[in-house]
Structure 1
């Protein structure tokens, strides 16, 4: 309590007034004694005797006036002390009430809340400096460093430009400059913050973003292994191998990344990808699939060429949704199985594959590398055709797709020659029925 500390000056003042009063009384008494003292010759003057005899009430009146003054001062002090004590008690009671939860125990911030507050403060500092980071402090840099560094343009279209930037700290980054976006600063900031907090080995992490008026930048670590598109192009040109196991690994990685995206936003606003294609699947150092270009498709104008372009990956309903991403993923699965590239040719691959299956030329669908594994690829082809069903309600969810692909991975070791031959006709009928239904 602070009452004791507040009373110290009051008590000192009270003692000072009391001492002053006693000093005045003492001086008055001394004056009276001096007046009544005998003369040096031992005689008392008649005037003095008469004066004291004639003013018997003088001493009493002085004492009563001093006593009244002292009592008045004492009453004032008592009032001030009472006001101070009451005020202090009210303040302490209010402080205790606001610092308790349910009127019982003090409210203590949890470590998680403290970390969250620290992250929000760091992000606020980043917004003021032009960049909001999602990496450790030692990996961060200033916007001026980024703008002053040399940049090599990698790709450009109507809606964005992609640059390879080498910073002085030997860090190499891919910087995406966005154009033609329709959104407010708050919407962009909220969405990119959600995307930046995603953490999955099959989603390329967002290093930072910048939103300065119409200038919006997304910054990633540069992936020198390239994309799935470049890998397939080199394979078609005969410059590298692309075995079945690596293709199956790519399918699993992409499905896992998409599944993580949709599970992360359960119960809240879902952010579809909207642009799944070979060039947006990057490769890390271990040739693991990394989903890129995620988080901003819903800011693009649906009427512009940036969204729902006729690139062969867009679902017939042309809308941003999980079913739309499943369709695009199904096209990638067909590309992995057939060895045909849709992105630059504009080939309607689902239509071609369904026609081949309908004519019972299913074996001619597979690429020469896939043909080496025999019947192992048929279950994956069946999953692909379900993903590219014409109507979205006939497509499976991405979680179900991942489950089916994992069954293909786990079942390979159990396949035998007899079971493969037996499953050939069964899978062929299943594929035929899927193609007829859609």
Structure 2
């Protein structure tokens, strides 16, 4: 192959609508700071000479050949939603596989939720957690609707939920699983892995729902799913929550940082019920992501236009005799009524 053709092949491929105008040389000259080393590769914050800031993800152990890689990136690059971090460009050569994303200065949900806990920290309040959960749910639901309903995320976890300046949740790193071998994908990049993924080594939309359920439990408990417990073995967050709920100590589940907020117990219990439905052991018993979005939206519909909460009495009047989801009986509103 001639050197001109080789140079043409080994260049950054931008997607339509991208406002960026740099090339690979600009990117290689940029000052780079490591943002994090993840299961699919290392993410860098790159500041170009003209001041443009992007995130470059350097993938490791990619199994896909050039054609398959390019086809998958074309699919991913076309997916757009306000709650998804768009893929702006990619680069493929024998030695390097790079992805270019917008830089999100507010960082990840993981850092915001778990970073510098202790005195002087501003807790993540309940309304913000709900907004992040709803944004992430909408983003994942949109992914599931793409590609004839066959598309999956495959790597849902709090470090892959990035935040806008308004603290809206935006999901990143979607659609990368097909780039890796089945063994590598199952062992390394299945996010919060559903039980069946460990056996089948295949990610599905139902396993995405499980991972999202674990993410909701993380928002509710303040505990990272891989956080070491006293015996230095990582806790299985769904199993731990189920055991606490089974003992009817549901209040013990919730993040102590949430205890300062008033009138949120009912919503916390409702979101816990949604999370528990998502982490059902049997995949077919889990709701679809679009149903999860609706359940969370229904929880939020009782806020007035000025953002104030209405009393429970007002809520029941406004429901016009219809019982909101997850509240079919008065008992369902009491924490001890949640069943694992």
Residues 266 and 333 in structure 2, CA contact (< 8 A), matched pair in contact too: no
Q: Secondary structure at the match of 1:177?
A: strand
| Structure 1 pair 390–308 and aligned structure 2 pair: CA distance change class (3 A) | farther
Of 267, 285, 293 in structure 1, the residue corresponding to residue 165 of structure 2 is 285
| Alignment length (residue pairs) | 308
Distance (whole Å) between structure 2 residues aligned to residue 145 and residue 335 of structure 1: 39
Partner residue of 1:385 out of 272, 276, 290: 276
Normalising by structure 2, we get a TM-score of 0.82
**Equivalent residue for 1:102?**
none
Unpaired runs of 5+ residues, structure 1, are 1-123
CA contact (8 A) 1:385 1:431 kept: no
Contact 2:177 2:189 in 1 (8 A): no
Pair 350,408 (structure 1): closer, same or farther in 2 beyond 3 Å:
same
Aligned-residue offset at 1:277: 0.6
Correspondent of 1:426 among 323, 332, 337: 332
2:324 is aligned to none
User: Contact 2:190/2:203 (CA < 8 Å) preserved in 1?
Assistant: no
Describe the shift of the 1:381–1:129 C-alpha distance in structure 2 as closer, same or farther (beyond 3 A).
same
CA change 1:212–1:310 in 2 (3 A) is closer
* Superposition map of 1:34-433 within 5 A: 128=9, 130-134=11-15, 136=17, 139-156=20-37, 159-234=40-115, 236-238=117-119, 239-266=121-148, 270-304=150-184, 307-309=186-188, 313-318=192-197, 319-345=202-228, 346-371=234-259, 372=261, 373-411=264-302, 413=309, 415-416=311-312, 425-428=331-334, 432-433=338-339
- Separation of aligned partners in 1, 2:220 and 2:298: 17
**Structure 2 equivalent of residue 79 of structure 1:** none
Structure 2 Cα separation of the partners of residues 340 and 424 of structure 1 = 29
For the pair shown, the structure with the greater C-alpha radius of gyration is: 1
Residue 187 of structure 1: CA displacement?
1.2
Q: What is the CA distance between 1:432 and its match in structure 2?
A: 3.7
Equivalent position SS for 1:236: coil
Which protein has greater RCO, CA pairs closer than 8 Å, 6+ apart? 2
Q: Looking at secondary structure, tell me which structure has more helix per residue.
A: 1
Gaps of 5+ in 2: 229-233, 304-308, 317-326
Contact 2:114 2:222 (8 Å CA) reproduced: no
RMSD: 2.9
Q: Structure 2 vs 1, CA of residues 179 and 147 (structure 1 numbering), >3 Å: closer, same or farther?
A: same
User: How many Å separate the matches in 2 of 1:430 and 1:266?
Assistant: 41
Q: Quote the offset at 1:430 in angstroms.
A: 8.8
Shift of 1:263: 1.1
| Contact 1:176 1:218 survives alignment (8 Å) | yes
Partners of 1:409 and 1:340 in 2: CA distance: 24
**How far does residue 150 in structure 1 lie from its aligned partner after superposition?**
2.2
Q: CA deviation at 1:422?
A: 11
Q: Secondary structure at the match of 2:196?
A: coil
Structure 1 residue 135: deviation in Å? 5.2
CA contact (8 A) 2:194 2:207 kept: yes
